[in-house]
A and B are shown apart, each in its own frame.
Chain A
Amino acid sequence: MTPPSESSGRLNGAINRVVGHVAPPVIGAIDVDAVVQRVDLDALLADVDLDRLLENVDLNAVLQRVDLNALVDQVDMAALIEKVDVAAVAERAEIGELVARSTSEVAGSTLDLARRQLVGLDVIVIGVVNRMLRRDPDELKPGPELLVPAKVES
C-alpha cells in the first residue's frame, strides 16, 4: 500500500495534466469580446468607492517621484507661446487703456505742478498789494457767489 502523500501528489499531477490538455481549447473557444460586451461596466464602476480608493493613495509620495524639471524640459515653450494670441490677451487686459490713462495722469500732474507755482505767485503778488493798500484779506470776497459760497459765521 502507498502512503497518502504520495497518492495525493500523483492525483495533483494527473489533474494538472488533464487541465493542461483541456484548458487551451476551452479558452480558445471563448469569445472574450462577447463576454466583455455583456459586462455592465457602468454598474461595476458605480460600486467602486473612489474616495476610499484615493484615501489609500499617498499623493505626496507620488508627486515627489515626478521630475517636474524633466517634464517641463520636454515642453516646447516657443511653440506654446507662438500659439498664444498676445494681442488678444493685451486687449482683454486693457493694457492700451491702462497706458493711455497713466500717460494722461502723468501729463495732468505735470501741468498741475506748473499751475500750482502760478497760483503761488498770484497769492504772493495779491498779498503784497493788499498789504500796500492796508486791506484786510478777510474782508474781500474770495470768488463769485455761485462758485465760492460765503461762509456763515457761527
Chain B
Amino acid sequence: MNELTSGQVTGRYAGPVSRLLGFAVDGAVALAIFGILTTVVAFTFRLLLGIEIDTDGGQTGWWLLTYLAWFFLYHWASLAITGRTAGKWLVGVRVVERDGSPLRGRPALVRVLTFPLSVVTLGLGLVGILIGRERRALHDVLAGSVVVYDWGDRPAEMPAPLTRWLERQGAIENPAAATEAPSAD
C-alpha cells in the first residue's frame, strides 16, 4: 500500500515543483556568492599585488567557465556534506541514496558531473522527475540517488485542505476516522 497518513510526506519522493524551485534558488544563491567572491578576490589582487582583474565582462568565456566550476563545487560540497544545497533546504527536500541512506561523496560527485547530461538532452533527462516511478532524473539514475521531502526536525506535510480533500477521496488514510470505525470482530 502507498497511502499517506494524515498528510505527512517526510521521506517520500519529492515532486517536480519543489525540485524546480529549489534549483532556481540554488542558481540565484550560487550566483550571489560568486559575485561576492569575485569582487573580494579582485579587490584583494588590486590592493596587494596591483593586478587588475576585469570583472566587467571583458573575458566572458573565462568568467562563464569559472562560474560553472563554482556552481559544480557549490553543489557537490553541499550535497556531500549535508545532502542538500541552500535551495533544497529552503524548499524542504534532500538528496539521499536510492535506499534512503545519506548520500556519500562519490555519488554526490557523479550526480553533479552528470547533471548537464539531463539538461543538454533537450531536457529529456529531467522527464523522469515527472513520470518516473521514483521521480528520478537522468543524473539521479546515474548517481543512484533520489530526492525526498525532509524538513529537518519538523514533519513535512501537505496543506490541510488538500489533506482533507484527499481523505474524502480515499487517497490517503484518515487516522481519526480509522480510530472511530468499529472493529471488524
Residues of A at the B interface (CB closer than 8 Å) are 108, 111-112, 115-126, 129, 133, 137-148, 150-151, 153
Contacts and interface: CB of A to CB of B under 8 A. Distances in A.
Contacts, number: 104
Contacts of B13: 142-143
B130 A129 contact: yes
B17 A118 contact: yes
What DSSP secondary structure best describes chain A's contact surface?
A: helix
Contact of A148 (B11, B17, B21, B158): B11
Contact of B149 (A119, A137, A139, A141): A119
B149 A112 contact: no
B17 A122 contact: yes
A116 B158 CA distance: 5
A121 B157 CA distance: 12
A115 B91 contact: yes
11 contacts: A115-B91, A115-B151, A117-B159, A118-B21, A119-B15, A119-B18, A121-B15, A123-B162, A141-B133, A142-B13, A151-B1
A120 B133 CA distance: 19
B131 interface: yes
B1 A115 contact: no
